[in-house]
Amino acid sequence: MSDLIIPIKSSTQKFIEIETIERDMVMYTDGSCSLVIETSAVNFGLLSEKEQEALIYAYAGLLNSLSFPIQILIRSQHKDIRAYLETLEDKEKKQKNPKIAANIQSYRLFVAETVKEKEVLDKKFYLIIPFSFLELGKSAQVLFGGNSRGLPYEKSYILDRATTVLAPKCDHLLRLLGRLGLKAHQLANTQLVYLFFSIFNPSDDTAFNKEQVNDNLKQGAMP
């Protein structure tokens, strides 16, 4: 007689150890938190020698000014241009001037052929500022741990402490990134959920429902 098959009861949320996403921060199951900043990039190779030197100097100043740890994430994804090609095709059909329509068609075919021959990647850059559960203060679970899993303090207290610690760090980093000529912003709740969703579901972005995620976040539940 074959052995009974035990159903898998674990969830993805348990695997990635995320407790919740609130107040534009990620809270983990041990009480740690983090916020994520998305930033633009600079094509360093296109800058003049003086501009490169100025940028290096400004970046060194950013690193030297940091009194807290940060994490840098560079994420590369295959560029999906299907929506762009569909837009071009739609404009081509609506164009009444035959010469302009022919130019749009030629450009659309060129883009489609280029993507087939070469790998087109979309790179995104993130800076993560962590908040350790050790910064929460004295607690039996924080100091000695234990067999029981769970947050060392109430969720609201942890979020308040994390906000107090991370907010000035985030403002400082955003200001320094602005001096480098970079456009940066802190990811909001829905953007954070989408980031983790796309990481663990790289080929299923269409399944992400922003309205449903917003409803779940308002109810205090992870999607």
Note whether 105 and 148 are same-domain residues: no
Which of the pair, 124 or 204, is modelled with greater confidence?
124
119, 145, 177: which is the final residue of a domain? 119
What is the structure's pLDDT at 205?
58
Residue 147, pLDDT score: 46
Q: How many domains in the chain?
A: 2
**Whether residue 136 sits in one domain with residue 38:** yes
pTM of the model: 0.73
Q: Are residues 106 and 154 in the same domain?
A: no
Q: Which domain holds residue 85?
A: 80-119
* Cα(149)–Cα(146) distance, integer angstroms: 8
Mean pLDDT of 178-189: 92
Tell whether 157 and 176 lie within a shared domain.
yes
Write down which residue in 68, 91, 119 finishes a domain: 119
Within 13 Å and on the Cβ side, how many CA atoms surround 178? Answer: 7
Q: With cut-offs at 50, 70 and 90, classify the pLDDT of residue 131.
A: very high
Which residue has better confidence, 64 or 141? 64
Give yes or no: residues 114 and 128 share one domain. Answer: no
In a domain, 3, yes or no: no
Cβ proximity of 212 and 221 under 8 Å: no
Q: Which two tokens stand for residue 129?
A: 């500022």
Query: 142 and 100 share a domain?
Result: no
Tens-place pLDDT, residues 78-96: 777 788 888 888 988 888 8
Angle among Cα 69, 222, 40 to the nearest 5 degrees reads 45
